[in-house]
């Protein structure tokens, strides 16, 4: 059955500077534990500690760029706006 999501849930972010995460679908917002759909706005130079989420995380960079580091690979890959990155 269709479900209206009237507004996202704001998620507190770990990291080096204030970042805004607005989750539309996921554990905190809808109880969905397998995927998270969220809009993230972060300042230039923002970093977070490494993580291994228990859900599928897909990132689409709309503006600027994102450096994605994988375990065992250094220094990480940079993704520019318009390029997606999925972790499966």
What are the pLDDT tens digits along the chain (88 aa)? 788 888 999 988 877 778 888 988 888 888 888 988 888 888 888 877 777 888 887 777 788 887 777 776 666 666 677 655 554 4
For residues 37 and 22, give the distance between their C-alpha atoms in angstroms, rounded to a whole number. Answer: 9
**Pairing state of beta strands 56-60 and 84-87?**
antiparallel
CA atoms within 13 A of residue 32's CA, in its CB half-sphere: 16
| Predicted TM-score (pTM) above 0.75 | no
Domain ranges of the chain: 9-87
Q: Collapsing DSSP states into helix, strand and coil, what is residue 24?
A: strand
């Amino acid at each position: 059955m269709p479900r209206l999501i009237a507004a996202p849930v704001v998620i507190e972010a770990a990291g080096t500077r204030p970042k805004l995460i607005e989750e539309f679908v996921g554990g905190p917002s809808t109880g969905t534990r397998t995927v998270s759909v969220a809009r993230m706005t972060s300042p230039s130079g923002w970093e977070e500690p490494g993580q291994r989420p228990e859900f599928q995380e897909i990132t689409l960079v709309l503006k600027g760029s994102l450096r994605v580091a994988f375990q065992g690979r250094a220094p990480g890959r940079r993704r520019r706006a318009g390029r997606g990155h999925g972790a499966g």
